[in-house]
């Protein structure tokens, strides 16, 4: 018998609201990331914030923002794992 990962979401976990998703994006992006996106797409900061508030995943700029935030989150998670492993070695 093969054990597989369940594809059904945990009934106790509710999906994130739009506001929570926007906050998660902002949490995983730095000011330097914001400036990089604005320069790459030739947009101003006001337009950048309007795009995030609209949260339209069909927008190319929004997709770029999400990809950068995801990359930052993965890097932060990886650094946290390395720090935990380093602490275990010291103890």
pLDDT in tens, 16-70: 888 988 898 888 899 999 999 999 999 999 999 999 999 998 999 999 999 999 9
Domain map (residue ranges) of the chain: 18-90
CB 52 within 8 A of CB 34: no
Q: How confident is the model at residue 77 (pLDDT cuts 50, 70, 90)?
A: very high
Dist CA 25 CA 69 (whole Å): 6
* DSSP, res 57: T
Query: Does the reported pTM lie above 0.85?
Result: no
């Amino acid at each position: 018998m093969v054990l597989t990962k369940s594809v059904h979401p945990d009934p106790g976990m509710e999906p994130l609201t739009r506001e929570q998703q926007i906050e998660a994006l902002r949490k995983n992006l730095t000011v330097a990331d914001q400036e990089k996106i604005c320069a790459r797409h030739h947009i101003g900061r006001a337009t950048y914030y309007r795009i995030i508030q609209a949260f339209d995943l069909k927008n190319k700029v929004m997709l770029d923002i999400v990809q950068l935030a995801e990359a930052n989150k993965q890097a932060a998670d990886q650094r946290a794992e390395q720090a935990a492993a380093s602490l275990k070695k010291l103890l």
